[in-house]
A and B are shown apart, each in its own frame.
Chain A
Amino acid sequence: MAGLATTFGSGAMTNSINEIENAQVMLVIGSNTSEAHPQVARRIFSAMDRGARLIVIDPRRTLMAGRADIHLAIRPGTDIPLLNAMMRIILDENLADDLFIEMRTENFYGLRDMLFRIDLDETARITGVDLARIRAAAQLYGRAQKAVICYCLGITQHVCGTANVQAIANLAMLTGHVEKEDTGVDPLRGQNNVQGACDMGALPNVFPSYQQVDIDDFREKFERAWNVSLPVQPGLTLMEMTHGGKNGPLRAMFIMGENPMLSDPGIATVGETLDNLEFLLVADIFLTETAARAHVVLPAASFAEKTGTFTNSERRVQMVRRVIPPLGQSRTDADIIMELSSRLGYAMDYESPAEIMEEIAMLAPIYGGMQHDRLENSWGLQWPCWDRGHPGTPFLHKYYFTRGKGRFIPAVHEPPAELPDDDYPFLLITGRIYHQYHTGTMSRRSPLLSREAGEALLQLHPDDGRRLGVRSGDVVRMRSRRGEVQVKAQLTDVVKAGEVYTTFHFSEMPVNVLTISARDHFSQCPEYKICAVHLAKVCDP
């Protein structure tokens, strides 16, 4: 979010998902697209059917990487040196889009000066990728007329997550690969409505439509609309809220549809924080690990029991409609919020989700023309959609960036917070698998999905397996400076020697007791992707 917002002025996919099908070169970085975003992977495959080339930057040989024309298997956490090297090669080989840089961007010289100081051989050493391959990737991307970059949590869940994104934005602007159809920078969202939550101001520093709380005009607009006075200071980030420990800043929390007791790094600290709250209220459709600790749990309605909208990765706002009335005592999220608010003394009396959407359209300019009647019986509208006559926006930054000119923000390498050493010799990467969704609150209740993937597996290189005396199916004890879990090993050369990979979906193997709570300085997104662990085979009982 923060990375693209500072460079382009808007933190969302610049393209529509369908446009990817028409790209000539796709650069996929930090995204296991076929498992996490199959609908995007499908477009990438279709593009390849038409002859498009695929570059994948990923430490693991994922299915996408296996299909790529060029796979750069980087050392985790060295994205910035790699991207900078690609940019340097693009400059050296005259593949930069000078006109685009001149007309549409600023601070190019800041970037150029930094790039000219790079030692390319040094980059190859840091990233563990052969320079010739980096060069081939840079040439392929630089020469394309239509090129998209897709990135995901492998970019953002690092201490340098924001800078990683800025480096990606720099690469795209340097080659003029933004502003056009079928060309752009596309962060893939993790869940069906993350984009919508951000759009609606579920961030500490903005109101809906990214209107900053500390800008008077914006704040006053919302104060007038809601007839209350609103705080000037931005709120707390997720990590500040859930990692305060005994002396945390909060006395009470209301958690909706989130399961930090499994999904947040350093679970022990999260538990301590929640246990020290005076009051914890959780609304969820099932009794999650987090809900089990709450003082009060409100049963929430599922997607099939409510009407409203979801906003997906491509900024598309789509209607969902109630199929069945909420089961048992469950209530929709909107009902819960309205009722709570009313009981707390601020009456909210929206008659319907449509009325709420009307208010959103009034207060959130990018949703300005989106009322339920327009979304009904259509595939939805893509923001920005300024008024009722506006058709929506398939791709962003046409003619000008949201912030005016695109700004090059040179990014410098920042090593991961914790790297393997003699005591913790393996680098642990965490991620997702196809058959399970997030903390498994929903997907683990499906017997079929659980049959397909019912337990966590630790991917371990066969060479490492041999050295540790571990075979596929053996249980290993995995220990970091923060905790310990046991997990079944799966020997595979999908991972490199020295690196291991597992998922966080399974509460029996809460891998986030191991992960580090170090986080990005700007977005506060934690570094889930890298920590150092020690492995040992668990002896037969």
Chain B
Amino acid sequence: MTDKYILKKDHLLPLLRKLKKNHRLIAPLRNRHGDTLFTEIDQLDDVRLDLANQPQNSLKQFFFPQQEVLFTYRNPGPDSYHFEPAAGESPPSLYFGVRPCDLSAVLYMDVVFLKNARDPHYLHRRRNSILVGLNCNGPFANCFCNATRNGPFVDFGFDLQLTDLGDRFLVELDRSRGQEIISAWRQFFAAADDKDVKAQYQAFLEARGKFSLQVHLDLAARRLADDQVSESVWHELSMRCQDCGGCAYICPTCTCFSIRDRQTSESGGERIRNWDACTFSGFTRMAGDHNPVDRQMRGIEKRFRHKLQFDMKKDNRPSCVGCGRCVNICFGGTDIVRFINMTCCENT
């Protein structure tokens, strides 16, 4: 049992204080309005670390900001057009309290941003990141990571992973940076014994029994693959979709973006990338108003097919991590759980 450790809860803040010396620290904090959000910690003593609630945001914004400058350009005359790299360094950052859904989403973003081409902005931030996860002892009302198979516990992808065992955390390692932390701050970590590992397994079994939603994701994915989802499902959902883009913005795995210029002076500007959503009609509309997607009737189809069919076909896993945030935010009632339920209830 050399790779599992115990961290006493009393020692958590002292450990974070040590880690904060060399890292930007991001963790779920409860603000004064009662909202829990992943936030950069300014002063450890002033904040309320909240490991009991699901943060409303995921880590997406930290690796892939809602808006960022890709480079700047100068265009002092028609025959002169120059492009300069944007400044902006990402300091070493430690993300604490990352639940399995959000951790899996980061692993998915790695594929999106680094597989076809290596996005330098993402890569830089990712390289400077340490992920300290937290297994979910109790899923929340809209959670269904059991159906997406990336929770409530995970055993890879993190640098360190904590499991709440009451008065202590069981600490596991996967990537090398986790080992570096353990080695550097040896005084905080005691070796875990058999009893601790059994307690973790017990917590895992209990957590699995606590999901309140039943989401038959596999069945929906199979029906999509077999082309058994009827047109009426797409039409009903597209009619109800209010086109707000909230699902894509809140989704930890929705990474579509647009690039545009923002002129900042007579002779220059910035090229900006910002979040976009495949549910918007402008997402596919080409110059001259030609749109290869019938937005009125199938506006929302692409999003679900991408997550549950195309990515399934490519990687044999959905690009939905079951965090349930879209269920909460969608005010048209066209979230992915509703889609899955509609698909599964159909008599085909």
A95, chain B: closest CB distance, angstroms = 31
Interface residues of A in 64-105 (CB under 8 A from B): 66-67
A451 and B282 contact, CB distance less than 8 A: yes
Are B332 and A67 neighbours in the complex by a CB distance under 8 Å? no
What residues of A have a CB within 8 angstroms of the CB of B282 in the complex? 448, 451-452
Q: Is the CB of B260 within 8 A of A45?
A: no
Q: A38-B244, A447-B260 are in contact. Are A49 and B239 (CB under 8 A)?
A: no
Please, which residue of chain B has its CB at the minimum distance from the CB of A472?
A: B289
Q: How far is the CA of A41 from the CA of B333 in the complex (A)?
A: 11
Contact of A34 among B242, B276, B285, B289 (CB under 8 A): B242
A434 and B243 contact, Cβ closer than 8 Å, known pairs A42-B333, A46-B333: yes
Those of A42-75 within 8 Å (CB) of chain B: 42, 45-46, 49, 63, 66-67
Instruction: List chain B residues, Cβ under 8 A from A452.
Output: 243, 280-282
Minimum CB–CB distance for A76 against chain B, Å? 24
At the interface, is chain B mostly helix, strand, loop or mixed? Answer: loop
> Are A377 and B33 touching (Cβ within 8 A)?
yes
Interfacial chain A residues near B274, Cβ < 8 Å:
448
Determine whether the beta carbon of B242 is less than 8 Å from that of A42. yes
Given A377-B33, A452-B282, also A63-B239 (CB < 8 A) = yes
Whether the pair B333, A49 counts as a contact (CB closer than 8 A) is yes
> Knowing A39-B331, A42-B332, A448-B282 touch, does A67 contact B244 (C-beta < 8 A)?
no
| A39 partner residues in chain B, CB cutoff 8 A | 331
Number of contacting residues on B, CB 8 A?
A: 19
Q: Which residues of A contact B124 (CB under 8 A)?
A: none
Provide the residues of chain A in CB contact with B242, threshold 8 Å: 34, 38, 41-42, 434
- Given contacts A38-B242, A448-B280, are A45 and B289 in contact (CB under 8 A)? no
Report chain B residues within 8 Å CB of A38.
Answer: 242, 244, 331-332
Closest chain B CB from A484 CB (angstroms): 25
A447 to B272, CA, bound (A): 11
B240: Cβ under 8 A from any A Cβ: yes
CB neighbors of A among B120-165 (8 A): none
Q: With a CB–CB cut-off of 8 A, which chain A residues contact B34?
A: 377
Q: How far is the CB of A206 from chain B (nearest CB, A)?
A: 34
Residues of A contacting B: mostly = helix
Bound complex: CA of A59 vs CA of B282, how far in Å? 28
Q: Which residues of B contact A49 (CB under 8 A)?
A: 333
Compute how far the CA of A39 lies from the CA of B289 in the bound complex, rounded to whole angstroms: 29
Residues in B whose Cβ lies below 8 Å from that of A41? 242
Which residues of chain B come closer than 8 Å to A67, judged between CB atoms? 239
Given the complex, which residues of B lie within 8 Å of A66, measured CB to CB? Answer: 239
CB pair A42 B239 closer than 8 Å: no
User: A42 CA to B330 CA in the complex, in Å?
Assistant: 10
Report A-chain residues with C-beta under 8 Å of the C-beta of B239: 63, 66-67
Residue of A nearest to B262 (CB): A447
Counted as pairs of residues, one from A and one from B, with CB atoms less than 8 Å apart, the total is 39
Q: A34-B242, A451-B282, A452-B282 are in contact. Are A42 and B276 (CB under 8 A)?
A: no
Q: How far is the CA of A434 from the CA of B241 in the complex (A)?
A: 12
Kindly provide the distance from the CB of A225 to the nearest chain B CB, expressed in whole angstroms: 33
**Closest A residue to B244 using CB positions:** A38
Give bound CA distance, A302 to B293, whole Å: 37
- CB-based contact B240/A45 at 8 Å: yes
With CB as the reference atom, state the residue of chain A lying closest to B281: A452
Residue A235 lies at the interface, judged by CB distance under 8 Å to chain B: no
Question: A444 → chain B, closest Cβ, in Å?
Answer: 14
> Which residue of A has the minimal Cβ distance to B289?
A473
Contact A42 B331, beta carbon cutoff 8 Å: yes
Q: A45 and B280: CB pair below 8 A?
A: no
A residues in contact with B333, CB < 8 Å? 42, 45-46, 49
Write the A435-455 contact mask toward B (1 if CB under 8 angstroms, else 0).
100000000000110011000
In the complex, which residues of chain B have a beta carbon less than 8 angstroms from the beta carbon of A321? 33
Contacts of B260 in A (CB 8 A): 447
* Given known A38-B331, A42-B331, contact A448–B240 (CB-CB < 8 A): no
A42, A66, A448: residue with the most chain B Cβ atoms closer than 10 Å: A448
Q: Which of B203-253 contact A (CB under 8 A)?
A: 239-240, 242-244
A321 CA / B31 CA spacing, docked (Å): 13
Bound CA–CA A65/B274 (angstroms):
35
- With the chains together, A377 CA to B240 CA distance in Å? 31
Whether the Cβ atoms of A448 and B276 lie closer than 8 Å is: yes
A448 to B244, CA, bound (A): 11
Tell me the nearest residue of chain B to A63, going by C-beta.
B239
- Encode B19-47 as 1/0 by CB contact (under 8 A) with A: 00000000000000110000000000000
**Which A residues between 152 and 176 are near B, CB-CB below 8 angstroms?**
none
Residue of B nearest to A450 (CB): B282
Which residue of chain A is the closest to B334 with respect to CB atoms?
Answer: A45
Q: Which residue of B lies closest to A452 (CB)?
A: B282
Interface string of B289-300 (1 = CB under 8 A from A): 100000000000
User: What is the bound-complex CA distance between A34 and B239, given in angstroms?
Assistant: 10
Docked CA distance A67–B296 (Å) = 13
List B contacts of A435 (CB < 8 A).
Answer: 243
Further pairs besides A321-B33, A447-B260, A451-B280: 18, Cβ < 8 Å: A34-B242, A38-B242, A38-B244, A39-B331, A42-B242, A42-B331, A42-B332, A42-B333, A66-B239, A67-B239, A377-B33, A434-B242, A435-B243, A448-B280, A448-B282, A451-B285, A452-B243, A452-B281
**Residues of chain A having any CB pair with chain B under 8 Å:** 34, 38-39, 41-42, 45-46, 49, 63, 66-67, 321, 377, 434-435, 447-448, 451-452, 473
The 7 A-B pairs with the shortest beta carbon distances in the complex, nearest first, are A451-B282, A38-B242, A42-B331, A452-B282, A45-B240, A452-B280, A447-B260
22 residue pairs bridging A and B, Cβ less than 8 Å apart: A38-B244, A38-B331, A38-B332, A41-B242, A42-B242, A42-B332, A45-B333, A46-B333, A49-B333, A63-B239, A67-B239, A377-B34, A434-B243, A435-B243, A447-B260, A448-B258, A448-B280, A448-B282, A451-B280, A451-B285, A452-B282, A473-B289
B residues adjacent to A (C-beta < 8 A): 33-34, 239-240, 242-244, 258, 260, 274, 276, 280-282, 285, 289, 331-333
